[in-house]
């Protein structure tokens, strides 16, 4: 018996990506089949009339966004070379920021260009 495998064939239905996308606006009715999905990633916003398996503008709501992570990040400050690294309160940070000429910028994630 020969087994044939088809790559990238018709996927099994597991729902739509839109249910977990940040850009989706989903309107559900009382019946099981009553659901309208509108995609906010396109301009103007348009209705999605089929189940979505892949999307190039998909933004998963189950993963925390970078801006949300930056909002909740803790601030580590070193003001002088002899000072130890540690956590500060918001009030202490505001006091230190007033004289911010001694605060060094944080390390960048972007690569430095060689001159």
C-alpha–C-alpha distance, residues 55 and 58, integer Å: 5
User: 78 or 52, which is more confident?
Assistant: 52
CA nearest to 93, candidates 65, 73, 67, 63:
73
Calculated CA dihedral for residues 107, 112, 114, 115, nearest 10 degrees? -80
Helices (H) and strands (E) in the chain, counts: 2, 5
Asked if residue 76 belongs to a domain, the reply is: yes
Q: Report residue 16 as tokens.
A: 């739509």
Q: What is the pLDDT of residue 113?
A: 57
Task: Tell whether 59 and 18 lie within a shared domain.
Answer: yes
Task: Tell whether 52 and 21 lie within a shared domain.
Answer: yes
pLDDT, one tens digit per residue, over 37-65 is 999 988 898 999 888 888 899 888 888 88
Count of the separate structural domains present in the chain: 2
pTM score above 0.75: no
């Amino acid at each position: 018996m020969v087994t044939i495998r088809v790559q990238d064939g018709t996927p099994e239905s597991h729902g739509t990506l839109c249910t977990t996308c940040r850009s989706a606006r989903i309107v559900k009715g009382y019946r099981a089949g009553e659901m309208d999905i509108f995609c906010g990633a396109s301009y103007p916003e348009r209705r999605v009339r089929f189940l979505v398996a892949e999307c190039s503008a998909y933004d998963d709501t189950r993963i925390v966004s970078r801006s949300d992570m930056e909002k909740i990040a803790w601030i580590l400050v070193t003001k002088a070379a002899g000072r130890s690294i540690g956590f500060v309160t918001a009030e202490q940070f505001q006091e230190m920021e007033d004289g911010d000429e001694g605060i060094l910028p944080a390390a960048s994630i972007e690569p430095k260009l060689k001159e």
